[in-house]
Amino acid sequence: MPVRRGFRAYDGNHAPKPPFTLNKDSPQAQGLVGWWPLSRGDLIARDLVGRHPNSTIAGDPQVVVTEFGVLGIDFDGVEDNLIIAQAEAVAAPLTLMCWYAPSSVAGAADNIFSLDDASTSDFFRLVRNDTKLQISIRESSGTIHVADSGNTFTINKFSLCVGRYNTIASRDVILDANFGNSASDTNSATPAGISTTVIGGLTGSSGDVEGILLDARVYNIAVPDAVIAAAYHPSTRWDLSWQRRRTYFLPVAAAAALDIPSLTMAPYIPA
């Protein structure tokens, strides 16, 4: 992994603590067009890629310490969400990715991460559908296409959620980089008028997320399996984050005066 002077990366046991910046040398930075770490300890969501405006998380979400040892945002499922009035067009290729720890895995579906048209007419989203991760896509015709992961969530345990839009008729849902339990949707769909990014909900829907969110990302590529695996693995999952090293200045005692004795030249006497 490239090393940038003055910065350091993290492994799964040493999660990044703000302030940090984007490691552009990371393979996980390729195609990244939106990145909200959600770990600063406040309710202002900042896109560290710099393409989206800062936005305030609505409702009464709580800042909590996560299992990774960093702060995250706990959404209660009732009008807690982050609506950003800007979004990437939902067109192939595209990938949504985030860490999510559900506080419930039963009942109504929770909208985890969405790109929509500021309504429920056209969208592409990640959803907790009971115990499974689901991708859901809708266009103005009203038809909704979905696919559910084969593996499941665990209550209060973080999982890496990925929705990958490969082509107009090929989309994958991948939970915890478990490619053997991924699922695909092969129906053609092209949502239009996408204008809004929503973390923790879907515009116009009551199905706001219930649980803790961290590290939401949007890519304008179909992120390869190897990069998804690296984003999940403890040794590389924080590779996208770089933090400045702290510099310490220590007081130094004044230098002692040097005692240089005088030199005496003896006369040269030939032998």
DSSP state of 78: S
Single pTM value for the model: 0.84
Whether 228 and 175 have beta carbons less than 8 Å apart is answered as no
- CB count, 10 Å around CB of 92? 16
Would you call 267 exposed, middle or buried from its count of C-beta atoms within 10 A (0-12, 13-18, 19+)? exposed
Question: Does residue 246 or residue 242 have the better pLDDT?
Answer: 242
Tokens of 87: 């979004």
Domains with residue ranges and CATH for the chain: 30-236 (2.60.120.200)
* Mean pLDDT to the nearest integer, 220-226: 97
Q: How far apart are CA 125 and CA 1, in angstroms?
A: 32
Q: What is the pLDDT of residues 122-175, one digit of tens each?
A: 999 999 999 999 999 998 888 999 999 999 999 999 999 999 999 999 999 999
4 band by pLDDT with thresholds 50, 70 and 90: very low
